[in-house]
Amino acid sequence: MARLGIPDLPSGIKLVYLAEGAANVVYRFDLTEAFIPGPTNRPDLPDTDDTTVHEAPGLLQGKLLRLRKDTPANVPYKEIEQNFDTIIRPLFKLHELVNQSLIRLPPGLIHHCNERLRAAEESGSRAFKRHGTYLSLTEPYGLLITDMTTYNDPGAHLAELKPKWLLQSPSAPADADRCRTCALKQMRDAEARSRGQEEQRSFCPLSLVSEKFEIVLRATEYVKGCWDKTRLAEILFRHPVLLRLLSLQKVHQRVGLEGPPPKTQVMSLDMTLRDCTVYIKIPQDEGSQVEVRLGDLDLKSSAGGKAQYWRDLETDLIEGGWYHGRDEDATNDHGCLLQHSKVPAALALLP
């Protein structure tokens, strides 16, 4: 039974591991089968005789479950959800977001999931860099998020990209030849080469909001998840979600060296809008609806040295000459749109 307006996750639901990042693990629901923990004497694990799977389809249809890891940041889901509701959600239309809502977890679920993560480590099926970090035993909630996978639509494609900075940094040199993202990429590529590693292939984010279709099409070459680059470019070209993100980045420019003091929280939204992800679910049938949603919109924290890190990075880009494309050894420099246009990015991209 739901309490305080937050629904309960039925105890008999089977979870299937989908993916994980540094702070969360994401599961999909198997609504065809009850959750069976296996032989155990642990009384805290879910009891499949007390399941309410029949109540689940309406609540869980089209959703994934996100569970929080025990990490140093340790931001409770209730705080994350409150920030999402009060700060992020009002900025966008509902269909433009990977939506999320709290759900109360049944007793024993986290213990069981952690046991499965440990078993995956032993079998070698869990990425080595994720070993040793497990779900928080003190977090009573999970987050139901919009399912943007193609599991239930195997003919569809899911493309995803990080738009990053759709405008130039406000503290970049006026005569810069690189946008903020391309300057950072070139600096990191140089560092990678010094370690004998490969450079990363990517697009200039200014291309995503270009008024020229061929520039958007060129950018899609670096977007994974969709083999039909022309169709993807047609979807992205002047898409309302990208233009809305561009508009918000123009308004929220408390970034760079001219922003607020590092220990304040006012940079959080501005940086969040520059580190989100666009998910594009493309059905096989060209007549069907394409979904374009923004995710990864947890409010960034400027605490714990992050704000100072952002400012130090900006200083490195400026003083290192990276905004002027100083790296003559780059072998994978596709060219920044700012370099080609030779006009200030903020002026070139005004709608």
In tens, the pLDDT along 189-220 reads 999 999 999 888 899 999 999 999 999 999 99
Q: E-strand spans in 108-181?
A: 141-146, 157-161
Q: What's the burial of 344, exposed, middle or buried (CB within 10 Å: 0-12/13-18/19+)?
A: middle
**Are 108 and 171 in the same domain?**
no
| Average pLDDT value for residue range 19-44 | 68
**Residue 45 belongs to what domain range?**
13-146
Same domain, yes or no, for 184 and 333? yes
3-state secondary structure of 16: strand
My answer on whether 102 and 194 are in the same domain is no
Same domain flag for 220 and 327: yes
Helices within 18-169 (DSSP H only): 56-60, 77-83, 109-123
How would DSSP label each residue in 256-281?
GGGSS-TTSSTTHHHHHTTS-EEEEE
87 with 167, same domain? Answer: no
Does the structure show a pLDDT above 50 at 146? yes
**137 and 183 assigned to the same domain:** no
For 68-79, what is each residue's pLDDT tens digit? 999 988 899 999
User: pLDDT tier at 66 (50, 70, 90 boundaries)?
Assistant: very high
Q: Are residues 191 and 110 in the same domain?
A: no
Instruction: List, for residues 49-65, the tens digit of each pLDDT value.
Output: 333 444 556 789 999 99
Residue 324 near residue 178, CB atoms below 8 Å: yes
In a domain, 336, yes or no: yes
Mean pLDDT lowest for which of 155-159, 162-166, 217-221, 325-329?
A: 325-329
Q: For residue 149, what is the DSSP state?
A: S
Angle at 229 between CA 223 and CA 232, to 5 degrees: 80
Q: How confident is the model at residue 36 (pLDDT cuts 50, 70, 90)?
A: very low
Q: Are residues 331 and 225 in the same domain?
A: yes
CA distance 156 to 144: 22
CA separation, residue 306 to residues 254, 262, 271, 315 (Å): 14, 8, 10, 14
How many structural domains are present in the chain? 2
- Report whether pLDDT(33) > 60: no
In a domain, 207, yes or no: yes
Q: Are both 115 and 165 inside the same structural domain?
A: no
Q: Does residue 83 sit in the same domain as residue 129?
A: yes
Strand partners, 278: 161, 294
Give yes or no: residues 70 and 209 share one domain: no
Q: pTM, whole model, 2 decimals?
A: 0.86
Regarding whether 132 and 174 lie in a shared domain, the answer is no
The answer to whether residues 159 and 232 touch, using CB atoms and an 8 Å cutoff, is: yes
Cα gap 44→59, rounded to integer Å: 24
